[in-house]
Amino acid sequence: MKALCFLLLLPVAVFCNDVAAPPPQPPPSTPSPSPNTTTPNPNTTTSTTTTTTLAPNATTTTTVAPTTTTTTVAPNTTTTSTTTVAPNTTTTSTTTVAPNTTTVGPVTTPSPNTTTPAPAPSPTPMPQPAAGSWSVRNNTSNVTCVIVNMAIRINVTYSKADNKTGFAVLNIPKDAFGNGTCGNETQTLRLEWMHQKDNKSYSNMLEMVFEKNETEKKFVVHNINLTLSVNPDDFPNATQSVTNLTFFHNHNLFATSLTRSYRCMKSQEVDLFKKNSNETVGVLTVSKVQLEAFHETNSTDFGAIEDCERSTDIVPITVGCALVGLVAVVLIGYLVGRRRSQARGYLSM
């Protein structure tokens, strides 16, 4: 009985199954699995380009290529992830740096280690001499016979121990001691001063001799004598055998009328010679000069002044006056001659 029922129900079940079930579909194609398959893009490189410009307030720009990820999912199947990555992907940073990007001053090539010796200090210049005032008085009559104001500088040559010629420059101090003599025909002024060195004193002397000319009623400086003691300060490295130097000037100077004084503010040079020789071995420079000899009063006031500047103006003035007179004579002669020629012309007519 059971078998009969099973045979009767079998066709019904088959029929129902054919109606309810959808038509069969082919099985989906399964892609060839390639686990962890990476398809490299040939020559595909994720590169990072960095451009750096080392300028003031520089901006660094970095460009990075994006990374692309592609995912393919089969419907109702296993999800497969495919990532495109360059093999051995290397991030390359390229930096462009301008040459000498570091702000540095000009390249300095170190000089060889040389030492430049310091220049020798220049000698201190000799200060200008100060003007002194001296006078000579006759102790018997109490008359001041010689009055002198002047500034004096001495430049002389001397022999050195190395057989070379040295040059000495010294000023006569304004407080040098002054004395002299008062004669009727000749009068003198003597200046003496000392130089101290290593507890040793060196004496120096300048003598001016005045002479009177009764015929011309003038006086002149007839002679100058100078004696200098050789000391280490004024005469360095001098020959040790020489202890004193003597100089002379034996030509008339500063001719002036009697009872008057000679004055000259500008500098004047007086040549100094060796004894009995015309070889110039030194110069005596005097300035701010005013002097008078054969003075016949008790005071130390100078007489009327004869200025050296005025005396030098006499020559050009005299020449100018002579030229003006000559032109006047020529002009007068021309006018007289012209008038006479005109008068002769009228008479002939």
Cβ neighbour number for residue 47 with a 10 Å cutoff = 15
Q: What is the value of pTM for the model shown? A: 0.56
Element (H, E) at 12: helix 2-20
Indicate the residue type of 191. Answer: L
* pLDDT digit string (tens) for the chain, length 349 residues: 555 545 556 554 544 444 444 444 544 444 444 444 444 444 444 444 444 444 444 433 433 444 344 444 344 444 444 444 444 444 444 444 444 444 444 545 555 555 555 555 555 677 899 999 999 999 889 999 999 999 999 999 999 999 899 999 999 999 999 999 999 999 999 999 999 988 899 999 999 999 999 999 999 999 999 999 999 999 999 998 889 999 999 999 999 999 999 999 999 999 999 887 888 999 999 999 999 999 999 999 999 999 997 644 455 666 778 888 888 888 888 888 877 777 665 544 4
DSSP-assigned states of every residue in 218-262: EEEEEEEEEEEE--TTTSTTB-TT--EEEEEE-S-EEEEETTEEE
Tokens read off for 123:
């000698």
Cβ neighbour number for residue 220 with a 10 Å cutoff = 19
Element (H, E) at 280: strand 280-297
Domains of the chain (ranges, CATH numbers): 132-313 (2.40.160.110)
Predicted confidence at residue 173, as pLDDT, reads 96
